[in-house]
Amino acid sequence: MTASYEPNNIFAKILRGEMPCHKVFEDEVALAFMDIMPRAEGHVLVIPKTPARGLLDMPPEALGPYMLRVQKIAAAVNRAMAADGLTIQQFNETAGGQVVFHLHFHILPRHDGVGLRPPGVMGDKAALEANAARIRAAL
């Protein structure tokens, strides 16, 4: 059985403005911001404003509009970072690799011959903001 949504998770706090982020995009459906531990230059997270623990908890009527935002942000990341491809990840529950229990997609721009960085390494704040500005300009 899946646990219930916890409204004090870090992404809920970001949505409420209680925690800062390097914002890329926001509307009534979703918020996109830079991952502070980027596995690739331009690593962005896209979260819904609908409280959902994971993909299986998202109301179907909210999923479609949210996925349109994921696609829009992915296209902007691809353009802004001059990527050769994208890795898009979404994890569900601890066994599936989820760490923050608010639905989110990772958008990682990829370049031929360049591997992902190891997880858990903080990014440079100036680089995060510069990449956010590049992606905002591509929107």
> Using one digit for the tens of pLDDT, what is the confidence trace for 9-48?
999 999 999 999 999 999 999 999 999 999 999 999 999 9
Catalytic positions are 104
Q: Which residues contact 35 (CB under 8 A, 6 or more apart)?
A: 43, 44, 45, 106, 123
Instruction: Specify if 71 maps to a domain.
Output: yes
The token pair at 77 is 């990341």
User: Whole-structure pTM over 0.85, yes or no?
Assistant: yes
Domain of residue 58: give its range. 10-138
The answer to whether residue 2 scores a pLDDT higher than 80 is no
Report d(CA 33, CA 125) in Å as an integer.
13
70 pLDDT band, cuts 50/70/90, is very high
Residue 17 lies in a domain: yes
Q: Predicted confidence band at 3 (pLDDT cuts at 50, 70, 90)? A: confident
The reply to whether 4 falls in a domain is no
Q: How far is CA 1 from the centre of its chain?
A: 25
Q: Is 67 within a domain?
A: yes
- The total domain count for the chain is 1
CATH number of 56's domain: 3.30.428.10
Asked whether residue 2 is domain-assigned, the answer is no
pLDDT digits (tens, 9 = 90+) for 71-88: 999 999 999 999 999 999
Q: Is residue 3 part of a domain?
A: no
Amino acid letter, residue 96? G
Using alpha carbons, list the distances in angstroms from residue 43 to 47, 54, 68, 106. Answer: 13, 20, 18, 7
Residue 112 lies in a domain: yes
* Domain-embedded: residue 1: no
